[in-house]
Structure 1
């Protein structure tokens, strides 16, 4: 047994697969051949029985149809085609009678006698029929017709007796066929069980001698890929392709392990030098960060605010109230956007920032662009992310209304809707197709919109854009209040 197993491991994988597949296919084809032989035998026996049934019933049906045509032929008023139909029926009956002729060597004794009786009776019947066909007067056909009816009754009785005997004999043959099929089914079940056992054995051999070594090789390769180089070597069972591959894999694993150990020793030697360099780089970076923070702290935003206030005071002395108002609003706008470190602000402050911004824009555009604000005062204390409304109004002016000759209108509305606190910013500008928005397009998609959308999503809200070319654009901001799920 050990010699056979060792011999098995020395042959190639191709030869193993061919041998196993050949054994399985031989068992399957043996079973299929036996089934086909049994089916062919059953089909042949069934065909013989059915052919005999069809010969008898065919003759009986043709003879019955002939008698029907005879009745139409002897009527006082004959149909025009009665004679032709009768002659055709006679030919059909004669043809089927020839197929029913007796065979002394193949027919059983009772069947042979009945077939001989039918043949003799039909000879007398045809002789009487010739007399009938030779008569031209309908009145003279009565006596021959009655004689034919009497003979037909005898022939019909012989045919029924022959059919009954055939059915009795066929029943016995069917019982023999059924018993034979039952015995064959038992043999097939036994052979199928043996084939199943053979296929299971072949699958077990294939799994143990081919799949398992391949699985072990793949598992060892996975261990190598995960950095585990100290795994035990693979077992080599033979000199086939898998055995040679496992042997080469063991050599490769040994070489990799030696190389890794050498690299680890070298890395330990270089580690101290690298740590010193990293510490020096870290100290240099900290020094640069401190210097940058020091320079940044010297930039005081109040310098800008104080300068704007100085210019506003100068405008007041020079009696330029409009310039003073614009400078003060600009100073307030800068103070709000630059000085405050808050990330969340009341909605009322955002609305006030819009008013300051539009004061500046109306100075530039005049009556060409107007803004309407319908804000619910009860929502002014709702907390929102800072600077979410001014970029939307700025986009409406730059991308939707600036090219209009006049009549540009921006509407801002705050209300508490079904979705929560909602802010709608809409314009009657040129609009666009939202489906054609692209991240790289600078015309209808800006950093401001992306920034607002991201901040709204982080705070639990959302931003939706609705636009149609030629009809304007609307942006809906939904705000999640504290305490909402």
Structure 2
């Protein structure tokens, strides 16, 4: 025979069991929904990363046809002028440049690697412009191994030729400076041309817009900027981005 206490306990369990079952089902439902939400967020993050990588690679490739078209035009001008020795040298340099380009498939390279590429380009242009062209490269030794996007300096240099040196006669002076300032890299490419900068200011050029987007993608959590600066003695392009070493080293 059940005691009053035992009977009361059975009644309480019978009354609470459905509630406990309901709370358990509710907890499992909420937990399952939370898992689904986390999986969805994980998929969205993965898709966003894939999209950014695809966009970055697309932007990285946009510059190449334009650059090689200009370089081939430079070599073609040597052939038309029958400057055979210089033509051979420029083709040899172009072969080195192409080898470097097709070995550079990463989303970033070091400043030192970028300067190697720029030197090939300037060597071709020096053959073309001869004594008219004067250029200087000043690279902070503390910045050599900093990472950057491929073809950033080359694009600034190429714009100086495209918008100024190729269109207007006179001495062509070009100075490239790379500095490490606290936790930032500052890249400045200056040329002495006054003519043609209004055109560049109006359109900013595919190259500058391209670089702005690529820097933002490479350094999503850092401060980046690309500025076109006009002065009485010429035109400069200044790029600023975080100082960061290759994480794989």
Q: CA deviation at 1:323?
A: 4.4
Tell me how many residue pairs correspond in the alignment. Answer: 157
TM-score normalised by L of structure 2: 0.56
Q: 1:451 aligns with which of 178, 196, 210?
A: 210
Deviations 1:143-190 (A, max 9, x none): xxxxxxxxxxxxxxxxxxxxxxxxxxxxxxxxxxxxxxxxxxxxxxxx
CA distance in 1, matches of 2:139, 2:176: 7
CA distance in 1, matches of 2:193, 2:207: 19
Q: CA deviation at 1:435?
A: 10
CA contact (8 A) 2:176 2:190 kept: yes
CA contact (8 A) 2:226 2:239 kept: yes
Deviations 1:77-121 (A, max 9, x none): xxxxxxxxxxxxxxxxxxxxxxxxxxxxxxxxxxxxxxxxxxxxx
Deviations 1:423-446 (A, max 9, x none): 111111125359962xxx4xxx32
**DSSP 3-state at the match of 1:416:** strand
More strand by share: 2
CA distance in 1, matches of 2:87, 2:128: 12
Structure whose CA Rg is larger? 1
Q: 1:370 aligns with which of 117, 120, 134?
A: 134
Query: Structure 1: which 5+ residue stretches go unaligned?
Result: 1-319
More helix by share: 1
Q: 1:388 aligns with which of 143, 147, 152?
A: 152
**DSSP 3-state at the match of 2:152:** coil
Q: 2:234 aligns with which of 467, 472, 482?
A: 472
CA contact (8 A) 1:400 1:472 kept: no
Distance of aligned partners of 1:436 and 1:329 in 2 relative to their CA distance in 1, 3 Å threshold: closer
**DSSP 3-state at the match of 2:112:** helix
Task: Show the 5 A alignment for 1:42-53.
Answer: none
Match of 2:89 in 1: 325
Deviations 1:384-411 (A, max 9, x none): 1111111111110111222343221010
Task: Show the 5 A alignment for 1:231-310.
Answer: none
CA contact (8 A) 1:343 1:385 kept: yes
CA distance in 2, matches of 1:380, 1:415: 9
Match of 1:463 in 2: 226
CA distance in 2, matches of 1:482, 1:339: 22
Q: Which has the higher contact order (CA 8 A, sep 6+)?
A: 2
Query: Structure 2: which 5+ residue stretches go unaligned?
Result: 1-83
CA RMSD of aligned residues (A): 2.5
Q: CA deviation at 1:334?
A: 1.5
CA contact (8 A) 1:401 1:430 kept: no
Distance of aligned partners of 1:352 and 1:369 in 2 relative to their CA distance in 1, 3 Å threshold: same
CA contact (8 A) 1:419 1:478 kept: no
CA distance in 1, matches of 2:211, 2:120: 20
Task: Show the 5 A alignment for 1:8-407.
Answer: 322-407=86-171
CA distance in 2, matches of 1:361, 1:436: 24
Which moves more between the two structures, 382-391 or 410-419?
410-419
CA distance in 2, matches of 1:457, 1:339: 24
